[in-house]
Structure 1
């Protein structure tokens, strides 16, 4: 006997789609990490992307290719999902998104400065993800290398939105926090920080989160600045002048850049632990005007970056005995000369190499 089943093709199609659907797991954040892992997936309609949130406090928020760090009108948003630093075994909160087409979907973390540091993700991006991430970081990553390459390594020990469904689950994970090793991992990143610029007295970004093994490369722009390690208690004084245990800290030295310069020197440090790192520009008055920087500072509270910067402005740089007026300073070295010195943090000491563009004044 033949039984007629209405809409048989539709039922079979739904069944096949359900059988073939794939789940993609994307880890968001983690100890000292500002990234989605993986950063892209290629998915078909009906597939599910599960965002698994790790330390510290992130979102998965839909944006657009044109505006990577702005919430797309009507786009999805997981909301902030904080995870304690000591939660290494889970369970971890998760948000799921069902893919509805093969069109690209652009995603970012809307925690302050995270998108600008490259914390973005995409579904079906084709070959456009590098351009999307570059747009998020303001194009800094695409800056051409200096004409005289430098090699400096210092080792220092809402519109209307649609929310994704949020679930708390013990989704298996293979990642764990790393506390003992200072060696870069396969996920280590280089964070680009621009120092100064035409009429700019700031580090950009001024506050970053970095994992053990990451590097921070400071790219010096107009006029004449430094990046010098200090402490929270004395924001505008070099660590070497305040340490009671012999810590010398890092110091790039002054980097004079002409207004018409097209190449820029760099200075790189490597992060060996997750303790906050505080730094400032020791050009006269710059620190007192708020030109300070931090790595891994708390997001809020009395020891946050905002508190550090406010403290620097309150002191107005007046207690910075290490401040030097670089306007009157000169160098006897020639163009492209290499200056070497040793600096260290905690027990780690390394030799730094900086290629300076000399003969340039404010």
Structure 2
């Protein structure tokens, strides 16, 4: 029940653009800031989706994945081999959050943040059970090629016998925040249409600030819901 209330509050403050399934933002980012794009892994209904599933982000932006119950994950993949971890290339491995179990009684969401280092498409999927085959996948900076779409990826994923689990440690290629509000760095944060802009000392500071803003907004909305119920 606690988690449902928090999730409903997050919906009220409009932190994602799940209606269209695609996240873009025309809002200008202040000089020296880092923009964070929020992606929800599943939702209050337990849907096997990432919302949004397509994200357009600039180099230096953060993409923050917030995990709903019960147990989801985030692994980088390739278009040509859906539901399988991206192989190591030139000593670089794909990102892997590890499994993120969340109970219905949780009052916070674990968050896995990835820094966008270039505009190369980054395909991703949930490696839990058959979630990928069921359509729990997405892409950061999709290619212009009309044959290489998220719809085509998911169609191929549905035919995969078993999703692959990366053999690297959870937290590879990103930053994990779990169970509490981050306090790293100093500065300010703001959000518009599902993206947060944070001013701080480096990517980790921006990550902490953007997530802090998200949890603060949830808290404000929960307070509003409690007051409404009380009356």
Instruction: Name the TM tier (shorter chain).
Output: 0.5 to 0.7
Matches for 1:205-216 after TM superposition, within 5 Å: 205-216=52-63
- Corresponding residue of 1:192: 38
Q: How far apart, in 1, do the equivalents of 2:55 and 2:85 lie?
A: 20
TM-score by length of 1: 0.39
Alignment partners' CA distance in 2, 1:288 and 1:356: 29
| Residue 50 of structure 2, aligned match among 178, 200, 203 | 203
Q: Per the alignment, in what secondary structure is the counterpart of residue 343 of structure 1?
A: coil
- Give the match's secondary structure for 2:159: helix
Structure with greater contact order relative to length (CA < 8 Å, sep ≥ 6): 2
1:297 to 125, 142, 159: 142
- Alignment partner of 1:306 out of 128, 151, 154: 151
**In 2, Cα distance between equivalents of 1:342 and 1:199:** 23
- Which residue pairs with 1:90 in the alignment? none
* Residues 25-64 of structure 1 aligned to structure 2 (within 5 Å): none
CA gap of 1:224–1:186, structure 2 versus 1, over 3 A, is: same
Change (3 A) 1:188 1:301: same
1: CA distance between counterparts of 2:141 and 2:88? Answer: 20
Report 1:165-184 matches (<5 A): none
DSSP-derived class of the 1:192 partner: strand
2:81 paired residue among 224, 227, 234: 234
Conserved 8 A contact 1:299-1:305: no
SS of structure 1 residue aligned to 2:138: strand
Deviations 1:92-123 (A, max 9, x none): xxxxxxxxxxxxxxxxxxxx555x545479xx
Partner of 1:249: 94
1:322 to 147, 159, 165: 165
Which runs of no fewer than 5 residues in structure 1 stay unpaired?
Answer: 1-67, 69-111, 122-183, 325-339, 345-350, 358-362
Q: CA deviation at 1:263?
A: 1.3
CA offsets 1:142-168 (integer angstroms, 9 cap, x no match): xxxxxxxxxxxxxxxxxxxxxxxxxxx
SS in structure 2 at match of 1:288? coil
CA–CA separation in structure 1 for the residues paired with 2:85 and 2:179: 21
Q: What aligned pairs does 1:91-240 form with structure 2 within 5 A after superposition? A: 113=21, 117-119=24-26, 186=32, 188-197=34-43, 198-239=45-86
Is the CA contact (8 Å cut-off) linking 2:70 and 2:104 kept in structure 1? yes
What residue in structure 2 maps to residue 277 of structure 1?
122
Residue in 1 aligned with 2:172?
Answer: 343
Asked if 1:261 corresponds to 2:106, the answer is yes
Count of residue pairs brought into register by the alignment: 159
Please identify the structure whose Cα radius of gyration is greater. Answer: 1
CA contact (8 A) 1:301 1:307 kept: no
Q: Which residue of 1 aligns with 2:17?
A: none
Structure 2 length normalisation: TM-score? Answer: 0.59
Work out the CA distance in 2 between the residues paired with 1:309 and 1:217: 21
CA displacement 1:37-71 (0-9 Å, x = unmatched) = xxxxxxxxxxxxxxxxxxxxxxxxxxxxxxx9xxx
Structure with greater strand share of residues: 1
Residue by residue over 1:257-277, the C-alpha shift from the partner in whole angstroms, topping out at 9 and shown as x without a partner, is 112323111110100100000
2:98/2:170 contact within 8 Å kept: no
